[in-house]
A and B are shown apart, each in its own frame.
Chain A
Amino acid sequence: AQSVTQPDIHITVSEGASLELRCNYSYGATPYLFWYVQSPGQGLQLLLKYFSGDTLVQGIKGFEAEFKRSQSSFNLRKPSVHWSDAAEYFCAVGRYSGTYKYIFGTGTRLKVLA
């Protein structure tokens, strides 16, 4: 069965430090991959997505992610974290099964220390 794993439930970094959030997926074919960010009590905002081509994708707010087929990973990175990046981050896989469905990881909550 298809699945998405975000192994880190919580991550704390200092402002200005680099960030990497991990995401591993299980899917037979090359999936559509997404990262979303959610502020408390809000909906999910799309950060970036990968469908094909260049395996390093750039997103909004200075985030990037790299698709590594050999590792079944799609890790999210940011070189320098800002306090406003504190939120919950979700990795997702889109797959076709009669129609497009999206499977989400359980999320990683990011705390940023001043």
Chain B
Amino acid sequence: SQTIHQWPATLVQPVGSPLSLECTVEGTSNPNLYWYRQAAGRGLQLLFYSVGIGQISSEVPQNLSASRPQDRQFILSSKKLLLSDSGFYLCAWSVPHSSGNTIYFGEGSWLTVV
């Protein structure tokens, strides 16, 4: 069965420091991968999605970037964090045309920028 791992689970970083959140999916090939950010009362905001290695699409302009160095690995990064980057970040995956294109989520990463 497929599983998704996301880490670290919790992170406290000072303003201006770099960020790296990592996500890996097991048990499937060539998934679509997603990074969402969740802010209180605002639901889930899609930040990036990827349909293949090295293919990244950004949904909103921001201080973050994403990379997909391997088929089942998705990384969310920042060179210099802002206070506004604080939030709950969720990695997710789906397999096109399989299981009705259902999207599945990791356990999330809490980022607090201080």
Contacts and interface: CB of A to CB of B under 8 A. Distances in A.
A2 B96 CA distance: 20
B105 interface: yes
Given A41-B108, A100-B101, A90 B94 contact: no
Interface of B is mostly: strand
Interface of A: 9, 32, 34, 36, 41-46, 49, 51, 90, 92, 94, 99-107
Contacts of A46: 102, 104
Q: Which 9 A-B pairs have the closest CB atoms?
A: A106-B43, A43-B105, A104-B44, A44-B105, A43-B107, A51-B100, A100-B101, A104-B43, A43-B108
A107 B41 CA distance: 7
Interface residues of B, number: 27
A101 B34 CA distance: 9
A106 B45 CA distance: 10
Given A43-B90, A100-B96, A106-B42, A32 B101 contact: yes
B100 A49 contact: yes
B51 interface: yes
B19 interface: no
B106 A99 contact: no
A107 B88 CA distance: 15
Contacts of B104: 46
A104 B38 CA distance: 10
